[in-house]
Structure 1
Amino acid sequence: MKKTKRVISTLCILALSITALTGCGSKGSGKTYKIGVSQTTTHDALDSAYKGFIDGLAEAGYKEGDNIEIDFQNAQGEASNNNTIAAKLVNDNPDLILAIATPAAQSLANLTQDIPIVVTAVTDPADSGIVASNEAPGGNITGTSDLNPVKEQMDLLLQLVPTAKKIAILYCSSEPNSKFQADLASEAATNVGLETVDATVSNTNDIEQVVQSLVGKVDAIYAPTDNTIASGMSTVAMVANSNNMPIICGESGMVMNGGLATYGINYYNLGKQTAAMAVKILTGESKPADMPIEYLEKMDLTINEDVAAQLGITIPDDLKAKMNK
């Protein structure tokens, strides 16, 4: 009889141990969450934001093939594709949707007020009509902004190109995000004594001609975090650098593709911050309506030393010490 009791006790302990281990290896009740992703186009910044999002989810215990399923869609820069992707994702009714960049977010916002949506790489969600206000979104959408420190970027331009008097602000006229940034840049440039001229494109096919038209007319170019310009950055750099027009960029991917420098957003970290917001929504800890739009506090200084050498620009020692390696 004592032996039987001992066996039963051992079996109970084993059962409890297995239950505990099983619980530790999964999130919640073992549900698999479905997440749809709509990315406006392909370039370094947006790709990094997506990677940061996936890695951020994994660090929180949400891994593809384990407890999440991801349907990733890329519009490849075509406006109509954003609408098609939005319709598909909404029809699939996932637990959450990630919208990367403003056009993707706007298309989704027009189709659903029920499915939770987190956005990233959207400069000003309120200005873009995605949320009621950045402080209190009030609906089914929240997320992170890639608003740049435009004042600091203009200061950086003058540190690297102290003789600059007139600059071009290069952006796509059809991107609301970009127009918003261009206005901020124009004001910041004026405040430090720079004259500005807008140089706008409607698509990547316009880039070479527009940049070529600036030769001999401006001392430098400022390009915000514009998806069209980022996608065609190699063309911008080819024309600008060969004609001694340094480019101050909105983000580091553009610098790596031929720009001179930026003081700006780390999109990988922005993606991870967005993932943390998504986890709070999936777990029911928070609702998008009550989650203010978030911003990165830390910015990175990135300088393309090869481009600086090509342009004959000396990088001040204080900037070298702060550079993102």
Structure 2
Amino acid sequence: MHAPKPSTHHAWHYRMLLVGIAVITLILAACGTPPPPKVYRVGVLSGLEYAAGVTDGFKAGLSELGYREGENISYDIQATNIDPVAYQRILQGFVANKVDLILAFPTEAALDAKAIAATNDIPVVFGFAQIEGVNLVKSVREPGKNLTGVRLPGPELAIKRFEVMHTIVPQAKRILVPYLRDYPIVPPQLEALRPVAAAAGVTLVELPVASPDELEAALKLQGSGDTVNVDAILQLVEPVAVTPAFFVVLGRFAAEHRLPLGGAYLSVDGYESLFGIHVDSKDIGHDAASLADKVLKGAPAGSIPVISGDSIFQINYREAQRLGLSIPAGIISEADQVLK
């Protein structure tokens, strides 16, 4: 006898059951395999050697926020030192590589990044950048133009540096102020500083230079031996203050004539400044990371308020002793660090 054949009706239900099981299996498999995370590509233009710590702080800050290099973020870090031609080349490379975000510092690099990225819809986060007098942002609250960042408070720092110098050396009536010629963040600092110095009865001897050799030649014109035309040297927030080649020239001249040199703390080839008031580059990078996180999560960069970096005050007590200067107790109590 032959077994009875299954009815067509039963066969159809059997096939539908198999199809249903297959579909459910595929759905469950898809649900169990999440898509790979997006890998954000970030271009970093580190344009000032002195501020290179911004990059370290930035990466550390993003790591704390859950960004893991090689997993969900990659960095193209390009470093140079006050080289506008290199800035352009590096930024054009970021555009060509279609990065998701650009971190650029200092001010000049940020300005170039703003100009290049604006036509390519790439958000920019800047750091270690002064916003006064350079047309970098529309306002602190609403920077606009697809960028935001961490502000370098240049004018405030310049005034604080002058006030500390005047307090330590009140007898100084002519203070030399060297700076890099045509550097865009300098004029706003001088504009803020001039009335403060005038009110204190101090003459600022402004000295723009383009190179260490030019600085050395200009210093020779200030006098020689025991006779010089200035009583102290004040550093602004700009490259001459923080570039070793410039600093050695200033330090040598100050040491030869026993002049207080202060503003940005540096120690190069045995020459040291008396005090420094500055912002910590790693802290600026860390703050920039919080802004970048908001941008990468979809917030328009131009709507995120600019952050201002906090200042750090260092007193070089051993340099004061070498110069025979007495540091007022009030100044020492204000210092974040006393170097002995």
TMscore range, shorter length: 0.7 to 0.9
Amino acid in the other structure paired with 2:326:
T
Distance 2:212 2:241 in 1: 7
Change (3 A) 1:228 1:80: farther
Secondary structure, counterpart of 1:306 in structure 2: helix
Structure 2 equivalent of residue 217 of structure 1 = 229
SS of 1:236 mapped into structure 2: helix
C-alpha change, 1:47 and 1:121, in structure 2 (3 Å) is same
Equivalent of 1:56, from 51, 55, 61?
61
Map 1:191-202 to 2 at 5 A: 191-202=199-210
Q: Distance in 2 between matches of 1:32 and 1:151?
A: 44
1:181-228 Cα distance to aligned partner (Å, 9 max, x none): 222222322232211121111234423223443341111122112124
* 2:166 maps to 1:166: no
Q: For 1:281-320, what per-residue CA distance to the aligned partner results, in whole angstroms no more than 9, with x for missing partners?
A: 1112x22111222213x43210122322222222222322
**Rounded Cα–Cα distance in structure 2 between residues aligned with 1:188 and 1:50:** 35
Residue 299 of structure 1 corresponds to which residue in structure 2?
A: 311
Question: Could you tell me which residue of structure 2 aligns to residue 226 of structure 1?
Answer: 238
Residue 324 (structure 2) aligns with = 312
Q: Is the 8 A contact 2:114 2:145 kept in 1?
A: no
Shift of 1:257: 6.7
Shift of the alpha carbon at 1:89? 1.4
Corresponding position: 1:188 with 2:196 = yes
How far did residue 85 of structure 1 move? Answer: 1.2
Higher Cα Rg: structure 1 or 2?
Answer: 2
Of 143, 154, 158, 1:137 maps to 143
- TM-score where L is the length of structure 1: 0.82
* 71 and 253 in structure 1: CA distance in 2 versus 1, 3 angstrom threshold: farther
Q: Select the residue among 267, 272, 289 that pairs with 1:275.
A: 289
Question: What residue ranges of structure 2 are gaps of 5+ in the alignment?
Answer: 1-27
Residue 300 of structure 2 is aligned to residue 287 of structure 1: yes
Equivalents in 2 of 1:257, 1:265: separation in Å? 21
Cα distance 1:262–1:229, how it changes in 2: closer, same or farther (>3 A)? Answer: closer
% of aligned pairs identical? Answer: 25
User: Aligned Cα RMSD in Å?
Assistant: 2.6
Give the letter for the 1:110 counterpart. A
The residue matched to 1:94 in structure 2 has which SS? coil
**Contact 2:125 2:149 (8 Å CA) reproduced:** yes
Q: Secondary structure at the match of 1:51?
A: helix
Residue identity opposite 1:193 in structure 2: G
Name the residue aligned to 1:128. Answer: 134
Q: 2:279 aligns to what?
A: 265
Distance, in Å, in 2 between the alignment partners of 1:100 and 1:225 is 14
Deviation at 1:29, TM superposition (A): 6.6
Give structure 1 stretches of 5+ with no counterpart.
1-14
Is the contact between residue 171 and residue 182 of structure 1 (CA under 8 Å) also seen in structure 2? no
Indicate the SS of the match to 1:110: helix
Equivalent of 2:216 in 208, 220, 227: 208
**TM-score, normalisation: structure 2:** 0.79
2:38 equivalent to 1:31: yes
Residue aligning to 1:235: 249
Secondary structure, in 3 states, of the residue corresponding to 1:143?
strand
Of 137, 147, 152, the residue aligned with 1:146 is 152
